[in-house]
Structure 1
Amino acid sequence: MGEVLETRRSKTNARFDELQIELSTAGKITANRACVYATGSFGRGEASDHSDLDLFIVGLGKRKRRLSRLQEICLEAELISATRRLKIREFSGDGEYLVHYTQHELVEALGKRHDDAKNTFTARLLLLLESRPVLGTQVYDKTIDNVVEAYWRDYEDHKNDFTPTFLANDILRLWRTFCVNYEASTSSEPAEKKAKRKLKNYKLRHSRLLTCYSALLYLLTTFVTQHTVHPKDATSMAKISPTERLEWLISQKTLSYKARKTVRELLEHYERFLEATDRPENELIQIFLDSKRSKEYSRSASTLGDLTSEALERIGQRSAFYRVLVV
């Protein structure tokens, strides 16, 4: 782990501690009823001074929610007040994503048409890929277990050669969903708006790519090593951050030297991205207004994609699971 990543993790941990102290009253609201988990840079353990806080609320209950509507409103008010006291940026989208789901809704929507429309798809996948509990750790752990169990529903019939195709396909779908073209579509669009879109695309091709593919690399390594993937392997994967997954991969002596070397290069490249983006958004926009510097940053994002592809190939070794990921 490099100095940049170590600093980011340390800062994130400190800010989490502050947030949880501020939310002592909110903890009484969620007790044995719900959890609140962070995603985004806070969930990935790499928040900077300029990061905002992305939160999801998940409660218990099937026909009747354990967290009532009034309790939900009080909880949201506590979350908003705490972030303001700590001078954390306002919730994105004017708080439109600060929504209360139930465990049942996250699992029931799996594979259904309304999964995207209700945003349960994103809430469920980010829970597994880049989350960290803020409140209600026991409910959070149980939610992860229930979601993994839903994805592993056919495991009992394939214990010795289980391929987590269902989850892998959803992770790939999430990545494709993220891959919206943020580049300017018309020449009449203002230069600053174009630059902002390029910046968003640059961040997408680093942080979101690593969120998705660190999980796929972790599961692929597990399959290649064990010839199957146990539900507990997925739970362990969900409990660590994307960069921690890369560190885990580097530590796996069962992988070839070349595979571990590629993953190490991938992690080092990602750290350079974290260093490059550790500044206010208005400063980053100025960089992307400069066409020459903008192209340099774009090439950096392409390099990360190349390293990810190389890691998949070196680890996959043309296994059955590797084939699922590429075809």
Structure 2
Amino acid sequence: MVNDLEWNEPEPASFYEEACDWLGEGFATIDAARVRSKQKLTELSACLESQTFGESTGFIAFGSLARLEFTDGSDLDWTLLVNGPSDLGQYETSLAIKRSLEAADFTKPGPSGLFGGVSSSFELIHQIGGLEDTNANMTRRLLLLLESVAVEGDIVRQGVLHQLLQRYVRYGRSVEGSKAESLKPPRFLLNDFVRFWRTMAVDYDAKKWLAPDEKWALRNAKLRFSRKLIFVKGLLLGLDCQLSPDAWPWSALPADEFHEAPEERLQQGLQRLIELPAIDSVCRTAKLVNASDSLREILLAYDQFLSVLADESSREQLKTLRFDEAEKNALFSDLRVAGKKFGNALQDLLFRSDDKLTALAMDYGVF
């Protein structure tokens, strides 16, 4: 049991759609990607109908599909998540899933080995920080928190999320936070989000060093846009309880619905906010602080990014672009300008739109 509350609730209203109404405009490529993502999730569910999942296993999708940004060129990052004892049948299930996905023409994950197999909740929960927390383990853990969706076995995903947040919130609390009556941002969790963002940036350069002319431009674009976006989601996720206590996901419930400890309330609210796609998370915060100009620039730039990924010839051009030819390449130059606009607009949201948000971002995101 995840907790005393029911998690299988109807999908909440889309903060992105509300933001479009608020701004009075739409973003065609984002809209198309969201429709495409929901279609693919339906197809994926049908593809897995013939598979047998145990009570302790779930099929979890990551990446653009979980962010509702799937395009025709997107690959499918997935894992068979085990939250319980391991057995050889889980490996056999993962092989059967691979065959089903291949037959249905889903693009397989990249060659890194991060996705496309079995993963255990034990490492995700117990190996946070320290020598045992490898890049692969940290990536699986943070992506589970920032961009994941259960196609099968959501009770498994929710159970692991609950235990992860318990580790971050209850066992990572400060002396001050343990006695506070109000909710305090989870510094342990926020530090891990910051570490993950910096690791993604360093890994980008590492891959460029090892293979300087292989997909570096595509990785560069993803780092400027989608990777940065999920980091901002994580940052906003952690700051939200202080930024908008009146709009906190559980604040409208009667007091007796809460567990007594503040960290339990924090944990429950975080678990609900995790379900928002990254774009919706940014839209929600921008509307809370009335940052319409910043949000418009964010969505315009991101729409341009997705339009490049959705176009087969443009995506292929980025995959094959040599580093020494990038400065003269019009597509890369345009995308780099859009990336700067996107980054500047995110900075405007965090540091120039609202004094309270700025103070929180400084306190928890910088130091």
TM category (shorter chain) comes to 0.7 to 0.9
Choose from 19, 35, 41 the match for 2:64.
41
> How do residues 107-146 of structure 1 correspond to structure 2 at under 5 angstroms?
107-116=125-134, 119-146=136-163
Which residue of 2 is the match for residue 279 of structure 1?
311
CA gap of 1:320–1:209, structure 2 versus 1, over 3 A, is closer
Alpha-carbon distance in 2 for matches of 1:108, 1:195: 35
CA gap of 1:33–1:22, structure 2 versus 1, over 3 A, is same
Alpha-carbon distance in 2 for matches of 1:272, 1:209: 15
Alpha-carbon distance in 2 for matches of 1:235, 1:142: 10
Alpha-carbon distance in 2 for matches of 1:223, 1:267: 25
Cα distance, 1:94 vs structure 2 = 6.8
Which residue of 1 is the match for residue 121 of structure 2?
103
CA gap of 1:183–1:22, structure 2 versus 1, over 3 A, is closer
Cα distance, 1:32 vs structure 2 = 1.2
Secondary structure in structure 1 of the residue aligned to 2:134: helix
Alpha-carbon distance in 1 for matches of 2:214, 2:54: 44
Q: Letter of the 2:132 partner, please give it.
A: H
Alpha-carbon distance in 2 for matches of 1:58, 1:285: 31
CA gap of 1:287–1:122, structure 2 versus 1, over 3 A, is closer
- Given that 1:220 and 1:322 are in contact with CA atoms closer than 8 Å, whether structure 2 keeps it comes out as no
Spell out, residue by residue over 1:93-124, the C-alpha distance to the aligned partner (whole angstroms, 9 max, x if none): 1755334333232111123321125x221111
- TM-score scaled by structure 2? 0.76
The answer to whether 1:232 aligns with 2:268 is: yes
**Percent identity (aligned):** 22
- TM-score scaled by structure 1? 0.85
Cα distance, 1:286 vs structure 2 = 5.9
Cα distance, 1:274 vs structure 2 = 0.6
Unaligned runs of 5+ in 2: 1-19, 21-26, 247-261
The answer to whether 1:3 aligns with 2:12 is: no
Spell out, residue by residue over 1:249-280, the C-alpha distance to the aligned partner (whole angstroms, 9 max, x if none): 2442xx2x3x3431332122211211122123
Which residue of 2 is the match for residue 81 of structure 1?
99
Alpha-carbon distance in 2 for matches of 1:156, 1:34: 34
Secondary structure in structure 2 of the residue aligned to 1:132: strand
Cα distance, 1:6 vs structure 2 = 1.7
- Given that 2:213 and 2:321 are in contact with CA atoms closer than 8 Å, whether structure 1 keeps it comes out as no
Spell out, residue by residue over 1:213-246, the C-alpha distance to the aligned partner (whole angstroms, 9 max, x if none): 1231243243222299821221122111101212
Secondary structure in structure 2 of the residue aligned to 1:47: coil
Alpha-carbon distance in 2 for matches of 1:161, 1:112: 27
Secondary structure in structure 2 of the residue aligned to 1:198: helix
Residues 45-54 or 92-101, more deviating: 92-101
Displacement over 6 Å in runs of 4+: 183-186
The answer to whether 1:171 aligns with 2:193 is: yes
> How do residues 36-75 of structure 1 correspond to structure 2 at under 5 angstroms?
36-61=59-84, 65=85, 67-68=86-87, 70-75=88-93
Cα distance, 1:319 vs structure 2 = 2.9
- Given that 1:214 and 1:246 are in contact with CA atoms closer than 8 Å, whether structure 2 keeps it comes out as yes
Q: Letter of the 1:237 partner, please give it.
A: L
Number of aligned residue pairs: give it. 311
Choose from 216, 225, 238 the match for 1:197.
216
Secondary structure in structure 2 of the residue aligned to 1:88: coil
Secondary structure in structure 2 of the residue aligned to 1:100: strand
